Amino acid sequence: MMSEHPRPPKWADRFLEWYCRPELLEEIQGDAYELFAKRFKNKDLRTARRHFIWDVLRSFRLSTIKHFKIKISPDMMKSNLNIAWRNMAKQKMYAAIKIGGFAMGIAACLLIALFIKDELSYDKHYPNAERIYRIVGINKAGEYAGKGVDFPAPFAKALRTELPEIELVGRINPNTLFTGGGNPIRRPDETQNNYEEGFTFADQEMLDILQIPMVYGDRAHALDEPNELVITKKIADKYYPNENPVGKTLLANDNTNFPLKIGGVIPDFPSNTHLQFDFLFTLKGVNFYPGEQDNWDASNYHTYVLLRPGTNLRQVEQKMFDTAFDKYLAPLFKKNGMSDEAIADVRETIDLELQPIGDVHLYSANIGASIPHSDIRFVWLFGAIALFILIIACINFINLSTARSANRAKEVGLRKVVGSLRNNLIGQFLTESILFSLLSFLIGILLALLLLPYFNQLANKSLHFPWQEWWFVPVLIGAALVVGMLAGIYPAFYLSSFKPINVLKGNLSLGSKNSFMRSGLVVFQFTTSIVLIIGTFIISQQMDFILNKKIGFDKEQVLMLQGTQTLGNQILTFKNRLKQLPEIQNVTVSDFLPIVGAGTKRNGNTFAEEGQSTNIGEGVGGQIWQIDYDYINTLGIKIVEGRNFSPEMPTDSQGVIINQTLAEKLHFDNPIGKRITNGFQNFQVIGVVEDFNFESMRENVGGICLILGNSPTITSIKINTDDMSKSIKNITSVWKEFAPNQPIRYTFLDESYAKMYEDVQRMGRIFSSFAVFAVIVACLGLFALASFMAEQRAKEIGIRKVLGASVPGILRLLTQSFIKLIMISIIIAVPLAWYLMHKWLEDFAYRTPMSWNIFALSGVIVIFIALFTISFQAIRTATGNPVDALRSE
Amino acid sequence: MYRIHLGEFEELILLVVAVMDGNAYGVAVMEALEDQAGRSVNISAVHAALRRLEEKGFVKSEWSEATAERGGRRKRLFTISNAGRLALEQSRDVYIKLWSQIPGFTPNISFT
């Protein structure tokens, strides 16, 4: 019997019959069957079936497949468009929700796409970008574990002489310790200084590596002489407008002994590069202290290389490391008295790698660097948000289309009866959905244009639509067509599948048939919305936590006066004059303040108890801050042991106040009187202060040594007043007496502190904006769905009312199925959000606890929004007169 | 004299069809390729090559009787046409001409 014969897989056979040209079918199918039979006889059924499938798939070729005719007649097209238009006009509310929701999704997507495109474009525009690398140092273990980009000054010279694979090596030093950052600047023939930012020291080679185009001057000789300076066009226009400033000079810090000669003018750096400078000082002939350029002990230089074409990256990295370590560092360690074993240990724990310049912006999350950068994770996150919002919008579209099927079913039935083919109907529904999509894109683009300035502010970018790019408009149109197709394909197949006989008899259980699918889609929408809402809450809670945590110092009403080093030796007189102002509580002069940025300085040291080694791996890391007698009182830092510095104690110049962390790391049970060293100087501990946060909350508090010293760039003033503007006026007038030619510059400590967490705040704002977007779009969908359901059940509700159902009872009836869906969404969303936000919070050493009430609150909010949305329709239906629903039967 | 391009695989198939003398059809050609030339190919490749050869006029085809192991389907039997024979001969001549010119290498074969 035939049935006892083994059969090839039915679907494969069907597939073959479907695609294959009839005139070829008999031959191909016959051969395939014959091979199947043979293989079954020689081997086994599984192999035979597998080979059969493979044969069928391999036979799927252009030359074997049928000509599927897609007939697009202009008349049909016109008719389809006409019908689509009429449908839209007939159902204005649904059409508006469909298009509006879709447009919002598209606008969000467009904005995020622009953002991502910009993020990905960083540093890709340098002519040799694929050969330019930034050197990254790796510490694999111990206290300093992590990556950094600061290298000793002579490292570049060593690479230049030892490695022929490296075409060029260049360094920049933007460190504020060496007057990088901001400085007062003036023309020699003027007296008024302007405070300018964006200074860095740089090698001539940097210009050659990056091949920066020149506005004025010769690139090959712009920085190759001592005291030369390259400025951007913006700065040139400010100081020497409408002329070629090459050869002219500028004065920095009022220093008339060293006029800076302008060697060249470069265009402003574009916004999409990590190198954002306006002044490049040459490093030629620079020694920040005697022997600095040959000192391997201090790492302050960011080093960039241009590799020769065809160089093997891994080999060069290895060679760089071997050369630098074995030839330069190891002898130095040995000289410092390190044993061979210890040196071998150090060799194991450190390494070098080359980071492509195009990766610097997005892949530097684990690199401690003074240059701000972004993070590839944000790019992924935003991409995911964009995708989800688009999916939500598509779901609305699908949901509404299928839910409205009741109204279209009769149309479909009738069309089929009068001879319409399924393909025609699919074509018609697809036309409709593409029309919707095109309209939505149009509105979405307008919306995005409208929101772009706001979004730019939100993301701290200057994005714009690349209309001038040839591909932009075609891509948009293509995307509109594809999205229209995708969103329309399911409704099209679903609607066109109705059997005319059922529809016309009225047997089709309209709209509710595929409620499972629709429920799933609603759950998806609300899960996404809830996750975004919870994310928003937790980010803002963390921000709150950062701003209000006890940080160990008092940041309120502290004014930081910048650039006070220009007062020279008058600074003490200035300080005392300020102290005489009644509202001023205290004044301190120190560049070292417990915030990051705003011109505050940092350094790196290793400490040990006197007599012990401070070598890598043995000492304890920390910073030395130079402060004055009033520092601790001005900032309200608490002394837990010992005492503050005092002018009456001349020995205090050798004294040091350490923080609890350092005391703990040095294993001092009784720190007062202990002597510590950083390898160069020795100090006696006279006091211990309570730990205060001086770095970002992302890190644990490190060790700190406070010593008496002169660091006069910033003068901090603690004010106690209700009238801040008057106090500022008083301070300004004192400043004018001392420095008539310097503009006064000040910031507030609490504002500078908040600024450190700008990225967190920005992230929170972006999250909340998109959460609002997602919720609106999801609610639009829910609203339409709810009104559709109410409409569908109008008769049922009419009868229920006639039989005595109460309004609340009917309301419950109409809302409970939706509430159930929202509940399911909450159950899915809570663990998901918990997991994601837990990951995010891991970036912070100090973090807010995630309490259950945030999750509960988010759930309640969503339920309320959903209830509110649904109840519009539900109340109207429940309170309506049953006669209206029942009379027309 | 016009030249028609004959691919290497096509030439092989054409040879097999000529050898099989009227019994050539998809599966048989495939098996012959494996036995005689050691080349294992998918049936779809054989079909495609046969189709191309037929389009070029090098083979002709006709239907056989229905067979049971093919589920009652007929075989499409291929025979070589005169044009096909001519193409094979041309190709052979070119090879021999070239072989004979390789220095110190005289093919010890004769065709009749």
Q: Measured between beta carbons, which residues in chain A are less than 8 angstroms from residue B32?
A: none
pLDDT for the residue B1: 39
Q: Measured between beta carbons, which residues in chain B are less than 8 angstroms from residue A22?
A: none
Percentage with pLDDT > 70 across chain A: 94
pLDDT for the residue A509: 54
CA nearest neighbour of A482 among A434, A542, A422: A434
Q: How far apart are CA A821 and CA A170, in angstroms?
A: 61
CB-based contact, A42 to chain B, within 8 Å: no
A713 vs B80, residue with greater confidence: B80
3-state SS, residue A232? strand
CB-based contact, A195 to chain B, within 8 Å: no
Torsion of CA A598, A600, A604, A606, to 10 degrees: -130
Q: How far apart are CA A288 and CA A276, in angstroms?
A: 23
Q: How far apart are CA A610 and CA A680, in angstroms?
A: 11
Residues sharing a CB contact under 8 Å with residue A77, sequence separation 6 or more, in sequence order: A431
Task: Identify which of B44, B51, B70 has the shortest CB distance to residue A58.
Answer: B44
* Lowest mean pLDDT across A127-136, A509-518, A573-582, B97-106: A509-518
* Lowest mean pLDDT across A78-82, A438-442, A529-533, B108-112: B108-112
pLDDT for the residue A370: 57
Number of Cβ pairs closer than 8 Å across A and B?
A: 60
How many beta carbons lie within 10 A of that of residue A486, not counting itself?
15
CB-based contact, B44 to chain A, within 8 Å: yes
Amino acid at A847: R
Global pTM reads 0.71
Q: How far apart are CA A225 and CA A264, in angstroms?
A: 12
Q: How far apart are CA A256 and CA A187, in angstroms?
A: 10
Q: Measured between beta carbons, which residues in chain A are less than 8 angstroms from residue B78?
A: none
B69–A34 CB contact, under 8 Å: yes
Amino acid at A655: G
Give pLDDT tens digits for A243-280.
888 888 888 877 788 888 898 999 998 888 888 888 88
pLDDT for the residue B59: 92
Task: Identify which of A34, A38, A59 has the shortest CB distance to residue B47.
Answer: A59
pLDDT for the residue B31: 92
Q: Is the pLDDT of residue B112 over 70?
A: no
DSSP A294: G
pLDDT-derived band at B19, boundaries 50, 70, 90: very high
3-state SS, residue A625? strand
- Token pair, residue A143, equals 């206290």
* Lowest mean pLDDT across A239-243, A434-438, A567-571, B23-27: A567-571
Q: How far apart are CA A88 and CA A179, in angstroms?
A: 66
Q: How far apart are CA A531 and CA A543, in angstroms?
A: 18
Interface test with A, best of B23, B34, B42, B47 (most A CBs within 10 A): B47
* Phi, psi torsion values for A166, nearest 5 degrees: -95, 120
pLDDT-derived band at A68, boundaries 50, 70, 90: low
Q: Measured between beta carbons, which residues in chain A are less than 8 angstroms from residue B69?
A: 33-34, 37-38
CB-based contact, A33 to chain B, within 8 Å: yes
pLDDT-derived band at A2, boundaries 50, 70, 90: very low
Q: What strands lie across the sheet with A584-589, from one edge to the other?
A: A584-589, A714-719, A558-562, A746-748
> Is the C-alpha dihedral spanning A693, A696, A700, A701 positive or negative?
negative
pLDDT for the residue A877: 79
Q: How far apart are CA A111 and CA A184, in angstroms?
A: 39
pLDDT for the residue A52: 92
pLDDT-derived band at B108, boundaries 50, 70, 90: low
Q: Is the pLDDT of residue A462 over 60?
A: yes
Q: State chain A's mean pLDDT as an integer.
A: 83
Q: Closest Cα of chain B to A15: distance in Å? A: 15
CA nearest neighbour of A401 among A103, A94, A92, A100: A94
Closest chain A residue to B69, measured at CA: A34
Mean pLDDT calculated for residue range A351-360: 88
pLDDT for the residue A179: 62
Percentage with pLDDT > 90 across chain A: 6
Closest chain B residue to A41, measured at CA: B69
Q: By the 8 A CB rule, do A633 and A644 touch?
A: yes
3-state SS, residue A401? helix
Closest chain B residue to A51, measured at CA: B42
Q: Closest Cα of chain A to B107: distance in Å? A: 40
Amino acid at A478: G
A27–B76 CB contact, under 8 Å: yes
How many beta carbons lie within 10 A of that of residue B32, not counting itself?
21
- Token pair, residue B111, equals 């065709």
Q: Measured between beta carbons, which residues in chain A are less than 8 angstroms from residue B42?
A: 54-55, 58
* Lowest mean pLDDT across A104-108, A157-161, A372-376, A846-850: A372-376
Q: Is the pLDDT of residue A408 over 80?
A: no
Residues sharing a CB contact under 8 Å with residue A120, sequence separation 6 or more, in sequence order: A362, A379
Q: Closest Cα of chain B to A45: distance in Å? A: 16
CB-based contact, B74 to chain A, within 8 Å: yes
pLDDT for the residue A293: 83
Residues sharing a CB contact under 8 Å with residue A873, sequence separation 6 or more, in sequence order: A783, A786, A787, A789, A790, A814
Mean pLDDT calculated for residue range A121-143: 84
Q: How far is CA A35 from CA A39, A64, A648, A671, in A?
A: 6, 19, 105, 89
B43–A31 CB contact, under 8 Å: yes
3-state SS, residue A145? coil
Q: Closest Cα of chain A to B18: distance in Å? A: 20
User: Nearest 5°: CA angle at B72, between B70 and B75?
Assistant: 60
Q: Measured between beta carbons, which residues in chain A are less than 8 angstroms from residue B77?
A: none
Q: Measured between beta carbons, which residues in chain B are less than 8 angstroms from residue A58?
A: 42-45
Closest chain A residue to B47, measured at CA: A28
Helix boundaries (H) for A804-881: 807-841, 852-879
Closest chain A residue to B49, measured at CA: A63
CB-based contact, B38 to chain A, within 8 Å: no
Q: By the 8 A CB rule, do A660 and A671 touch?
A: no
- Token pair, residue B104, equals 């110190």
Q: How far apart are CA A424 and CA A428, in angstroms?
A: 6
Interface test with B, best of A4, A5, A31 (most B CBs within 10 A): A31
Mean pLDDT calculated for residue range A190-195: 81
With helix as H, strand as E and coil as C, how does A664-702 read?
A: HHCCCCCCCCCEEECCCCEEEEEEEECCCCCCCCCCCCC
Query: What stretch of H or E contains A584?
Result: strand A584-589
B43–A29 CB contact, under 8 Å: no
CB-based contact, A243 to chain B, within 8 Å: no
Interface test with B, best of A17, A34, A38, A52 (most B CBs within 10 A): A34
pLDDT-derived band at A449, boundaries 50, 70, 90: very high
CA nearest neighbour of A611 among A600, A622, A619, A603: A619
A61–B25 CB contact, under 8 Å: no
A35–B27 CB contact, under 8 Å: yes
Q: How far apart are CA A300 and CA A173, in angstroms?
A: 6
CB-based contact, A26 to chain B, within 8 Å: yes
Q: By the 8 A CB rule, do A116 and A379 touch?
A: yes
Mean pLDDT calculated for residue range A452-461: 86
Give pLDDT tens digits for A760-809.
788 788 878 888 888 888 888 888 778 777 777 777 888 888 888 888 88
Give pLDDT tens digits for A212-228.
888 888 888 888 888 88
CB-based contact, B69 to chain A, within 8 Å: yes
Q: Closest Cα of chain B to A8: distance in Å? A: 11
Q: Measured between beta carbons, which residues in chain A are less than 8 angstroms from residue B51?
A: 24, 63
Task: Identify which of A26, A34, A55 has the shortest CB distance to residue B44.
Answer: A55
Mode of pairing for the β-strands spanning A714-719 and A584-589: antiparallel
Q: By the 8 A CB rule, do B64 and B25 touch?
A: yes
A58–B43 CB contact, under 8 Å: yes
pLDDT for the residue A443: 93
Please spell the DSSP secondary structure of A323-336, one letter per residue: IIIIIIIHHHHHHT
Q: How far apart are CA A116 and CA A378, in angstroms?
A: 9
pLDDT-derived band at A368, boundaries 50, 70, 90: low
The distance from CA A465 to its chain's CA centroid, rounded to whole angstroms, is 20
Q: By the 8 A CB rule, do A612 and A618 touch?
A: yes
**Radius of gyration from C-alpha coordinates of chain B:** 16
Give pLDDT tens digits for A330-348.
888 888 777 888 888 888 8
Interface test with B, best of A7, A23, A27, A38 (most B CBs within 10 A): A27
CB-based contact, A15 to chain B, within 8 Å: no
CB-based contact, A776 to chain B, within 8 Å: no
> Is the C-alpha dihedral spanning A735, A739, A741, A743 positive or negative?
negative
A553 vs A602, residue with greater confidence: A553
pLDDT for the residue B80: 93
> In the block, which residue shows the tokens 């490093």?
A283
* Lowest mean pLDDT across A177-186, A413-422, A627-636, B2-11: A177-186
Q: Is the pLDDT of residue A532 over 90?
A: no
User: Nearest 5°: CA angle at A682, between A680 and A684?
Assistant: 160
With helix as H, strand as E and coil as C, how does A732-756 read?
A: HHHHHHHCCCCCCCEEEHHHHHHHC
Mean pLDDT calculated for residue range A396-425: 78
- Rounded to 10 deg, the angle between the B8-20 and B82-101 helix axes is 120
B:81-110 residues touching chain A, CB 8 A cutoff: none
DSSP A690: P
Mean pLDDT calculated for residue range A175-195: 75
User: Nearest 5°: CA angle at A228, between A742 and A744?
Assistant: 10
